[in-house]
């Protein structure tokens, strides 16, 4: 008799790291790769905003609040991004579909008829004059 196995639960476990840089940095728990990517991306954006905007306005040395700003905000953003699932999809797939829709349909103001793109012509549509037909068939 055959047994049917359901591997869905196994394949839905996210890929994670326990140690980084060849064992130089070890964690006592698994750190998902998506969380690390989100964290690095949020850190780079925060660092760019910090150096390009805030340091030009208020130039001073790093203090306690600066470190909290550069570390705490990216961690919070990475955790929030990981928890968001719009329409039950991964946030990156959702954003990719949204950008594809905006760039292909919304911004060019494309018109579709039966799922086919209709070319817009600059010509105005003019209708001929309508005549009321009497019962006898003549106007």
Q: Please identify which residue in the block is written with the tokens 């925060």.
A: 46
Q: Show Cβ contacts of residue 18 under 8 Å, excluding neighbours closer than 6 positions.
A: 26, 27, 29, 30, 31
Q: Would you state the pLDDT for residue 24?
A: 85
| Alpha carbons 47 and 56: distance in angstroms, whole number | 13
**Model pTM?**
0.55
Residues 68-113: pLDDT tens digits? Answer: 778 888 888 888 888 887 777 778 888 899 999 999 888 887 777 7
| Alpha carbons 7 and 27: distance in angstroms, whole number | 27
Residues 23-78: pLDDT tens digits? Answer: 788 888 888 888 888 888 888 888 888 777 777 777 665 666 777 778 888 888 88
Name the pLDDT band for 116 (thresholds 50, 70, 90).
confident
């Amino acid at each position: 008799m055959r047994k049917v196995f359901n591997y869905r639960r196994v394949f839905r476990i996210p890929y994670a790291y326990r140690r980084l840089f060849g064992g130089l940095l070890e964690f006592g728990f698994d750190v998902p790769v998506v969380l690390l990517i989100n964290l690095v991306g949020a850190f780079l954006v925060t660092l760019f905003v910090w150096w390009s905007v805030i340091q030009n306005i208020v130039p001073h040395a790093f203090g306690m609040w600066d470190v909290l700003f550069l570390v705490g905000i990216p961690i919070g953003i990475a955790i929030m991004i990981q928890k968001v699932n719009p329409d039950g999809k991964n946030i990156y797939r959702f954003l990719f579909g949204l950008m594809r829709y905006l760039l292909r349909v919304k911004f060019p103001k494309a018109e579709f008829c039966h799922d086919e793109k209709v070319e817009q012509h600059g010509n105005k549509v003019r209708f001929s004059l309508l005549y009321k037909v009497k019962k006898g068939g003549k106007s």
